[in-house]
Structure 1
């Protein structure tokens, strides 16, 4: 009687082993779900960045205002005959 019980317990353990510790185990499923959640967060951030970049590209292709704005802000360029004034704020020490 004891040997039958022991054989059944060992059989159950052998059948349960892959579910708990195998390739498709519960532990591995939880790890993959965590990785998936992290990747979705990264993808959302990258999608927002790509959308902003696509809007910049569209503006640069379609209108000259965006090109002029970039030239003024990033390169310090001015149009011929234009006067550039730079207004400085108060020193931060006061």
Structure 2
């Protein structure tokens, strides 16, 4: 009976050693779980960004309003007959008037 108890104790010790120190141990498992969660968060952000880009592409393909808005915002284009007003912040205006 003592030999069986000794053998079971040695087996338990070896299993514990493998659990804490061996290949694919518990600390590696928790590290991988953290990395998986970070990758899933990153993937979710990229999926959301892709959905926004797909919606923008559909909008650009379907109508001229989106193209016109982009031309105004990114290129500064103005329609014929429109008056363009540029609003300068007070801080920039004061700095320019002082010659700085």
TM-score, normalised relative to structure 2: 0.70
How many residues end up aligned between the 2 structures? Answer: 92
Alignment pair present for 1:79 and 2:86 = no
Give unmatched runs, 5+ long, in structure 2: 95-100
Deviation (angstroms), 1:45: 1.6
CA-based RMSD: 2.6
Q: Output aligned runs, 1:50-69, within 5 Å.
A: 50-69=50-69
- Higher helix proportion, which one? 2
Instruction: Find the counterpart in structure 2 of residue 17 from structure 1.
Output: 17
Deviation (angstroms), 1:27: 1.6
4+ residue segments displaced more than 3 Å: 4-11, 87-93
Structure 1 CA distance for aligned equivalents of residues 22 and 43 of structure 2 = 29
Structure 1 CA distance for aligned equivalents of residues 89 and 25 of structure 2 = 63
